[in-house]
Amino acid sequence: MRILAVDDEEDALDVLVTAIGECEKDAEINAFNSPTEALNFAKENPPDIAFLDVRMPGMSGLDLAKKLKAINVRVNIVFSTGYSEYAPDAFSLHASGYITKPISTRLVRRELENLRNPVETTDKRIFVRTFGNFELFVDGETLHFSRKLAKELLAYLVDRKGSAVTRRELCSVLLQDDAFTRKSQDYLTKVVKELQKTLEEAHAESIVNLDRSEYSVIPDNFSCDAYDYLKGLPNAFNNFYG
């Protein structure tokens, strides 16, 4: 779990970091007095949770929150400030929580136990969003596909929820070829190889089984909003609505 703590006041930041450390002893905590430096760090190291002061010189905590959400759609934003009047603005950004200073371990623990987007404590570093536009996120970053059909193939496999799909079925669904012609089979092979290459480059190949004759996803190796919705989890729609 990677946690970002940002406050321009050194003493307040020290108190916050200490409280976080008491609640999450194994977490990676990155503390910054400068919101700009925090943002630059987050671009290379997307946080799971960000505790942000609201009033800071150069960039407000509200503006920083927007930029962090652009980096990692699932980041949990917790505002910590001495000014309660900012609460409406904070929650308009779909913040996970809001702490009015002075900071205490009890308040920090309350927020960590009630995150808007629960942080996976297993190796599920891959998230599939199906509500809205289909996207695959690896470590909080959107994975880009150079071939559109490779992305459509993955979306179809996710929709099948782990059930095996034959090459004939894929030729029919993706290529509109019910005859299963050699031309379509050869093209499908290229699409499958492209999907495999893209996933391997992102170290995300564990989410699929690309056997020679049948293909499927492995649901235990990733998180998915649609799967969460079917399980009745309350946060399933959060990523679609922001």
Distance between CA atoms of residues 107 and 31, nearest Å: 18
**Model-level pTM?**
0.52
Range 2-112: architecture per CATH: 3-Layer(aba) Sandwich (3.40)
pLDDT for 93: 83
Angle at 34 between CA 121 and CA 125, to 5 degrees: 20
Is the pLDDT score of 145 beyond 60? yes
- The verdict on whether omega for the bond into residue 219 sits within 30 degrees of 0, i.e. cis, is no
Distance from CA of residue 171 to its chain's centroid?
Answer: 31
User: Does residue 237 or residue 42 have the better pLDDT?
Assistant: 42
Contact assessment for residue 104 and residue 19, using Cβ atoms and an 8 Å cutoff: yes
Cite the DSSP H helix spans in the chain: 10-23, 35-44, 61-71, 87-92, 105-112, 148-159, 167-175, 182-201, 225-230, 238-241
Instruction: Give the pLDDT confidence of 178-230 residue by residue, as tens digits.
Output: 999 999 999 999 999 999 999 999 989 989 999 778 999 999 889 899 998 88
User: Does residue 180 or residue 73 have the better pLDDT?
Assistant: 180
pLDDT for 1: 83
Residue 39 corresponds to which tokens in the numbers above?
């943002």
pLDDT for 83: 72
In the chain, where the domains are located: 2-112, 126-241
pLDDT for 117: 86
Range 126-241: architecture per CATH: Orthogonal Bundle (1.10)
